[in-house]
Structure 1
Amino acid sequence: MPPGRPTIRSRQVAGELRRLRKQAGFTTGEVGARLGLSQAKVSRVETGSSGLRLGDVQAMLGLYRVPEPRQAEILDLVRRAAEPGWLQVHGRGLPEQWQTLIDWESKAVALRVLHAHLVPDLLQTADYARAAIRGTAPEPPGDAELDVKVGARLARQGILSREHPPALHVLIGEQALRIPVGGPAIAAAQLRHLAEVIRRPHVEIRVVPDAVGAHPGLDGAFLLMDFEQGRALVHTEHRSRSLFLDDEESVLTHRRVWQRVDGIALSAAASAEMISALAEAPGVGVGSG
């Protein structure tokens, strides 16, 4: 791939090459000396600021003794680096897209999540996640599969406990707070968890009241990730596939949706009051209040 604006695939390869180099115990200077490249060239490849050349990547993977199956996966990404977006089909067990999503979330400086109907994954309790995964699946998953998916969902939440976590901005529909996912007890525990999380300095949760009527957020949940360097990235998930988008039009469209919904949401203080009130209300999660 020639130099230019890095795509999601080239950015993913760049990050993986950096991780593999460190895992193998090499410095960028040592890699350059062994492969006949300048240290600056190796650094540019690892930051995504230099175009990916198949031969260079292949040589690096060989030097790092990467297993052949993994080499094939990475080289396929290089060949397709110029393609826009990234579609991943969900399999059974641990979905591959979750690891990709964890990788990108860990690099972000700001995460913006919009969900009108459910509490977003990054804020779910284990019981709520289990009930949500089981309840929304077209076919009830087995216990082992369910355990893996719940574990993967909770693993994503680790970024919120880092020393320097990304700023998390959440727009959540009032309906999501009232649906008794898992029953009243689990729903109440989930609301109490939100009431605790909202106190963290890097977390903002704002509720979109049902009274506003139709709004763009009803058309689908999404996650918008901003980075210190490189283009923003949008992630959307559906029943059988997830999609990563980094083209300017898609990012701009989702940012506009966010801005419109942000403009009609309750303030952070009013949202915190609603969440706390619902958490303590008798029969929480039942009906529309």
Structure 2
Amino acid sequence: MDSRESNALSRELGDALRRARRRSEVRFGALVEELGWSAGKVSKLERGTRGTSPVDIARYVGHLRTDQPTYDHIMGLAQEPNTGHLVRPHELAVPDSLRALLLHEQTARIIWSYQVIMIPGLLQTIDYACALMNRTDGEHRAAERVARQRIFDNPRPPEGRFFVHEAALLRVVGGAQVMYEQMLQLLFRDGVRLVPFAASLPASLNSGFSFMNFTDHPPVSYVESGPVALFSDAVETTDLFGQCCNDLDLVAVSEEESRSVFAEWADRYDRLREEQSAPGGEAVA
């Protein structure tokens, strides 16, 4: 991969190089001297803002004396053609450790997120996420999902624009207690808007997606399908997802109206959990 233009693939490669260097005992200055490169070249390579040949990447990694799995992973990225689309497999319903996802969420300026039958991952409570995963290690993996949300605690956090279809409020995940707490999470969070059942949806909004804008490079779209995630920064694709975001603005109700609906659903789940916890009541799922 020798393109000098920053793209999703070059940034994932740069991230892998930087993390490998930091895990090694080789200091930045020593690496620059051993390679005979300028500090600027190494820095840009690690940021994904310039490319180089797989041979140079092999030299870089060789000087770090990494283990074989790290070497194989980095060289796989270096030899992967840049098509504008990254396909990354992950465990079913658990994409939270994908470096491409974490890297782009952590550097985004604006994150648009739309979901139809579930709450967006960056808004999920840990109990909701755990119940949604339905795994023996769900609690641990749910903690990874919640850890992603710490990007909003950064000194310069991204602006989150979240859109939740009303169907996600009706779908009970984990029982009334979990849903009650999740409704409160939506209620007290800025930037969350509801797409009501009554809205006439264009075909562009039949499925969920994320769309991320950045200060230093073009936008990236992200969609999940089963155990596969697709990242795209191809202009023809991101232009279409940009239109999807415009469509969301048109069909979603205001934040104030959305809060009213979230409050109504919180009240419903609150009453339901009280009924279920009363003597003789049905146990909470």
| Counterpart mapping for 1:1-289 below 5 A | 1-24=1-24, 29-91=29-91, 98-134=98-134, 141=135, 143-144=136-137, 146-198=138-190, 204-216=191-203, 218-281=205-268, 283=271
Q: Deviations over 1:53-92 (max 9, x none)?
A: 1122122212223212111111111111423311122347
Residue 284 (structure 1) shift: 6.5
CA contact (8 A) 1:178 1:284 kept: no
Structure 1 gap segments, 5+ residues each? 135-140, 199-203
Give the aligned residue type for 2:141.
K
Q: Greater CA deviation, 15-24 or 66-75?
A: 15-24
- Contact 1:222 1:236 survives alignment (8 Å): yes
Contact 2:90 2:98 survives alignment (8 Å)? no
Paired-residue identity, %: 26
* Cα pair distance change 1:112/1:159, threshold 3 Å: same
Give the conservation status (yes or no) of the 8 Å contact 1:116–1:217.
no
* Shift in alpha-carbon separation, 1:237–1:42, aligned structure 2, 3 A: same
Instruction: Tell me if the contact between 1:216 and 1:260 (Cα under 8 Å) persists in the aligned partners.
Output: no
SS at match of 1:230: coil
Q: Secondary structure at the match of 2:164?
A: strand
Q: Which residue of 1 aligns with 2:276?
A: none
Residues 193-247 of structure 1 deviation map (CA, whole Å, 9 limit, x = unaligned): 212223xxxxx11111111133345421111112221221111111121111111
Deviation at 1:100, TM superposition (A): 3.3
Aligned AA (1:63): H
User: How many corresponding residue pairs?
Assistant: 272
Residues 88, 97 of structure 1: 8 Å contact kept:
no
Provide the rounded CA distance (Å) in 2 between the counterparts of 1:116 and 1:10.
Answer: 31
Partners of 2:94 and 2:133 within 8 A in 1:
no
Q: Check whether the contact 2:114–2:210 (CA below 8 A) recurs between aligned residues.
A: yes
AA partner of residue 163 (structure 1): P
TM-score, length-scaled by structure 2: 0.85
- TM-score computed with the length of structure 1 as normaliser: 0.84
Q: How far apart are the structure 2 equivalents of 1:284 and 1:253?
A: 41
1:5 is displaced (CA, Å) by 2.7
Distance 2:47 2:102 in 1: 18
Going from structure 1 to structure 2, the CA distance change for 1:160 and 1:284 (only over 3 Å counts) comes to farther
- Residue 137 of structure 1 corresponds to which residue in structure 2? none
Matched position secondary structure for 2:3 = coil
